[in-house]
Amino acid sequence: MRAAYQTPAPGDELSGVAGPKELIRRCRVMCNNYERHLNWSNLQEALAVAGLNVALRPPALLPPTRDVRVSDDGAVLRAAGNGVEAVTMRWGFRPARTKAAPVFNFRADGRDFSDSRRCLIPASAFFEFTGDKAPKSKWRFTMRDEPMFCVAGLWKDEEHGQTCSFTMLTLPPRPDVAPFHDRQIVTLAPKEWARWLCLEGAGSLDVPPAGTLAVSLVRQGRDEPSGELLALAHPARSAA
């Protein structure tokens, strides 16, 4: 199950910036911030729907977290025997170049991940940012009718005893995200989790169809959002 990690080819990685971490926040990069407002029962119920056996660590591994950012530690689900286990990993593969940004997003377009180390990143929401001036407008995306979802990801071991790391997969956006960004992370409902982890065979990846995600504005930036974006938003349900 734990096949060798596929090294990113040029253009595959979407770290967005070659520079220090603070530069990441100033650029319009793909998803670099997500929320994990989950409790243990949410996760157990979702795993039951997914048909996955559970070999999990104690619930303290998954505390509610308002903001998980690049280079933070995050909870990750990966295959373990005939089930899954929850482990803590750092978000973003270590870059090959000194002072380059971590590889926190990875293009999935047309790729075969059957020999990769696949994982799931539990989340209750992810954030995108719009505008040219900081602070930018912050938009919260959730999955309708689901208290949680997982993001399809890859994980790898790090050298010299460092913590394992993970990255999120992206594809061209569907209508829910396209007005906000030209890429979209691959969000999976519980019924799709086993297929991605390959416990039931590998399948092709896709982003959810229009109407699957709900968006709300949780913080207006210096640049006022367009009327088009505001018309798509629902009242905010979470503080920035």
pLDDT tens-place string over residues 181-220? 999 999 999 999 999 986 454 457 889 999 999 999 999 9
Residue 166 — pLDDT band, cuts 50, 70, 90?
Answer: very high
- Answer whether residue 148 is part of any domain: yes
Q: Which two tokens stand for residue 38?
A: 């989950």
Residues of the chain above pLDDT 70, percent: 78
What is the pTM for the complete model shown? 0.83
Q: Is the dihedral of CA 115, 8, 121, 109 positive or negative?
A: negative
On the 0-12 / 13-18 / 19+ scale of CB atoms within 10 A, 238 is middle
Q: How many domains does one find in the chain?
A: 1
Q: Return the pLDDT at 42.
A: 83
More confident residue, 47 or 10: 47
- Answer whether residue 109 is part of any domain: yes
Q: Return the pLDDT at 97.
A: 84
- Answer whether residue 49 is part of any domain: yes
Strand partners for 132: none
- Answer whether residue 6 is part of any domain: no
Report how far residue 186's alpha carbon sits from residue 179's, in angstroms, rounded to the nearest whole number: 17
HSE of 234 in the Cβ direction (CA atoms, 13 Å)? 12
Report how far residue 189's alpha carbon sits from residue 123's, in angstroms, rounded to the nearest whole number: 11
Q: Return the pLDDT at 236.
A: 54
- Answer whether residue 9 is part of any domain: no
- Answer whether residue 46 is part of any domain: yes
Please state which of the ranges 112-121, 159-168, 212-221 shows the lowest mean pLDDT.
Answer: 159-168
pLDDT tens-place string over residues 73-100? 999 999 988 788 888 999 999 888 888 8
Cβ atoms 185, 126 nearer than 8 A = yes
- Answer whether residue 5 is part of any domain: no
pLDDT tens-place string over residues 21-77? 333 333 345 689 999 998 778 888 899 999 988 776 655 666 788 999 999 999 999
User: Can you give the CATH number for the domain in which 49 is found?
Assistant: 3.90.1680.10
Cβ atoms 126, 141 nearer than 8 A = yes
Residues of the chain above pLDDT 90, percent: 56
- Omega of the bond leading into 135 within 30 degrees of 0 (cis): yes
Sequence letter at residue 202: A
Q: Return the pLDDT at 131.
A: 93
Q: What region does 211 belong to: left with phi over 0, alpha with psi -120 to 50, or beta?
A: left
- Answer whether residue 22 is part of any domain: no
Is residue 10 scored above 60 in pLDDT? no
Report how far residue 114's alpha carbon sits from residue 213's, in angstroms, rounded to the nearest whole number: 27
Is residue 1 scored above 80 in pLDDT? no
Q: Return the pLDDT at 26.
A: 31
DSSP the chain: --PPPPPPPTTTB----SS-HHHHTTS--S--EEEE---HHHHHHHHHHHT-EE----GGGS--EEEEETTSEEEEEEEETTEEEEEEEEESBPPSSTTPPPB-EEE-TT---TTS-EEEEEESEEEEEE-SSSSPEEEEEEETT-S-EEEEEEEE--STTPPPEEEEEEE---TTTTTT-S-EE-EE-GGGHHHHHTTT------PPPTTSEEEEEEE--SSPPPHHHHHHPBPP-S--
Q: Which residue range is the domain that position 67 belongs to?
A: 32-232
- Taking Cα atoms as reference points, which of 96, 196, 192, 85 lies closest to residue 148? 192
